[in-house]
Structure 1
């Protein structure tokens, strides 16, 4: 039986042109193949493959003490191998027909990695320095991966994009924790190259969005929104120690955010589509407030000094609110008018308690800017009336009437210490008032 096999092998080898008659060939080699055998140095372990018909195998010629690696490719492939240095552990693949695998030539002590790509892909690998962890991509067909050559000790991150995307990978500094996105097809991924010790935050955007991010300083906690398709996200670059807050707007909105100073606590909203939210940039220690307006309103906010209580309105659609910048310690009051009114807010001095009216639609609100220590009194007039009030000096007790519609009330402006007198005339009369002397 054995003699018959040997005779068959001899006849097959004679029919194959260029087949070497060598006892060192341990494997049966089919006819018309192109076997490759290495000529190792003394002490190595030579390896010969048994390729399929029509393939062009490639082997390595290792130095003494290495473990040669070879590939048994399918028919029609063009394998690529390396010549590793002593002590390395090369890795390679068995690619499918038509692929172009790529293998690195690492320095001694590295752990090279090679991918097994699908047919038609162009994989890219890194050539890391000793001690690094190479990162590579096993992309789907048609993608164009991008990789880096990281410094020793870094942890690069690469995405596995779907077909047609443009992945991006950073080259971080040593010790950073880079984060990348895994976008859907057609998106433009964005990544950061943070400074050492920062914790970047990124998003996984939907197709068509334009993400924005930053290079934060060490110790900051940046926040980025995940907008829907078509929005314009905004991200701040806060100073160290701040806690920025952003919103997640619906499609078509204009996000608003602040870049606060250190120690502030910003507040933001999630406005409806089409609103123009306004947010303040307070100084340290203030409590900013932002409204959540209805669609079509134009809110206005104050920018108070430290320690003040900002006041704002949540107007109905179509109103034009007016606000102030109060001094520290004041308590401004603002109305919430109905649609079509013109609200007014005072800028009182410190320590005063201003009062405003909440008029119906079409009225002209009246308010006072009293001196410090006064207690103003106001009314809620009916539509069409013209209320009048006084601006008393300190210590007086002003009085304002609530006239009927169509009357023209008149008030006095008493001196300090007097008791003002006024009338509430009947409709259509012309009232007359006095200016009493002090003490009467």
Structure 2
């Protein structure tokens, strides 16, 4: 079956700020309270999308969610007009106001887990919105994310959009950031790798383990995956405690290739053995393990070497790693990438992109995209306004240049007029994407 991988990137919203709300995310903590540049952030993200469009790939986009989240503030006991609610929250609960303004939905690797129709029993493409229940600011996202997914993938003949799992710690789910699909080709049946950090009810020391085994098992069942083609393994506690709050900080895969740090999994040998067994008759697994002696876990996390996009590019026989410029700037990761492409392995080229505004909040190129493998029929059945052309990117950038601030400090969130700015900007973006129903 013919299919292609479509990357649906998150369009960075006008409230992009360094709130420092994410425990275990070192970049978020390190830059907490700094002045952000929402305009630059959104333009950088759109330029990354343009790069892939120009390379001949199909590129999609998910709109920013409505911010501030007034439902949260009302639930916290603030009432009155929008201005009164913001004024009260700014004075009495400033951290909660930062939560309400969080633009973290930009990282669409956490929007959902996706299983293509080649892997599912009913032959439909399945998407389960992530509940993101571990972090308060992210737990607000799934109702609006589900609405966005339903607007884009609304044809029940081709798609099945599942609501988020229950909002309980045992079902903690962070979406595709802990999920990798491996295959011989995009349209062929594949193996889906789910990575979890803890068992339900487990109490562990260190940074939070945000994904449970139960959530992975539940999604695999809901998507109708064959049990022998769904591999569920544990992330190493060492990686989590070093700052790999999602597995995609230490691992990325595409086609038949798994690119990962040697400290990514609790048991690397067993993980590779399970993957090879699941892939029997489908493809030969090509693991590329980066030794700690060449790139330390600290360097891998600081540079986000593995939070890169690993892509099958038209006309290229080997995979392309789309990495943040921070990888090029760090001595160990730059040297490793030079050796990597000079060899005869499955990764033949590294392309660097500037997403510094996102990186400072702990999100690299891989965080900014949700991979959706689609057949031609599925592509035709989805909402066409969410698929990007250079002209549509130009139109989105025009909105960003006009409606986004180029400076946003934490105290600016107390400006009640900023809420109106966010609403007006989002409505203009939705108009470009022909998604006015989400306004």
Q: TM-score range by the shorter chain?
A: under 0.3
Of structures 1 and 2, the larger Rg is shown by: 1
- The TM-score with structure 2 as length reference comes to 0.18
- The TM-score with structure 1 as length reference comes to 0.17
Structure with more of its chain in helix, by fraction: 2
Structure with more of its chain in strand, by fraction: 2
